Chains A and B, each alone.
Chain A
Amino acid sequence: GAGVSQSPSNKVTEKGKDVELRCDPISGHTALYWYRQSLGQGLEFLIYFQGNSAPDKSGLPSDRFSAERTGGSVSTLTIQRTQQEDSAVYLCASSPSPGTSREQYFGPGTRLTVT
């Protein structure tokens, strides 16, 4: 079956521009996660959705970052006024239900480069 997909796979943008990153989770998965991974670093948790709601947005690095999920499916991570430090791989994962006791299925990621 189809796994988690993300688009675009690569995005190069100029500093100050807004970007939108998309995640299509596995059908029927209620939990959706966004992570950020800088070069050679571990995964930084950004936000989690249970259905369409995000109970905790404290992982988002700044108010330039926002995320939404519609129809309990597709999620969009938006970064406004991008900065060079936003350059990273943005990974999305989904699982049948929330919590680390459940396996997360990861997408291939979106590599964002801010010039």
Chain B
Amino acid sequence: LAKTTQPISMDSYEGQEVNITCSHNNIATNDYITWYQQFPSQGPRFIIQGYKTKVTNEVASLFIPADRKSSTLSLPRVSLSDTAVYYCLVGAGGYQKVTFGIGTKLQVIP
């Protein structure tokens, strides 16, 4: 299973763009990169998933370089409601023991 490393915490002011980078040096050919968001007292919620290059949806963008050994979740113009823990996962289809890790705690400051 590909291990992931991401910062434990980040602070950002409202209205700024936030980039959270996840390292996954031993990512396998079949692995996808998935990000989840978790608010206090709630279960995680899927944000975005990608395999290579760039993926964008209404919530975020995901940038994946050609070597796929890292990925960056980009949140445009964050608001206070974006304060949450963000998890990076790497894995493929089929059965795998799923590891969420500790995630990155993002604190948005007014």
A interface residues with partner B (beta carbon < 8 Å): 4, 33, 35, 41-43, 45, 48, 50, 55-56, 58-59, 91, 93, 97-109
The size of the chain B interface, using a CB distance under 8 A, is 27
| B contact patch SS | loop
Q: Specify the chain B residue showing the minimal Cβ separation from A99.
A: B93
Q: Specify the chain B residue showing the minimal Cβ separation from A44.
A: B100
Give 9 CB contacts A-B under 8 Å: A43-B101, A55-B95, A56-B97, A58-B97, A98-B93, A101-B34, A104-B44, A104-B98, A109-B42
**Inter-chain contact A43/B100, CB cutoff 8 Å:** yes
Instruction: Enumerate the 9 nearest inter-chain pairs by beta-carbon distance, A residue then B residue, closest first.
Output: A106-B43, A100-B91, A43-B100, A99-B93, A42-B102, A101-B32, A103-B46, A101-B93, A42-B101
B96 in the interface, Cβ–Cβ < 8 Å? Answer: yes
Interface string of B27-46 (1 = CB under 8 A from A): 00001101010000111111
Q: Which of B36, B97, B101 has the most CB of A within 10 A?
A: B97
**Inter-chain contact B98/A45, CB cutoff 8 Å:** yes
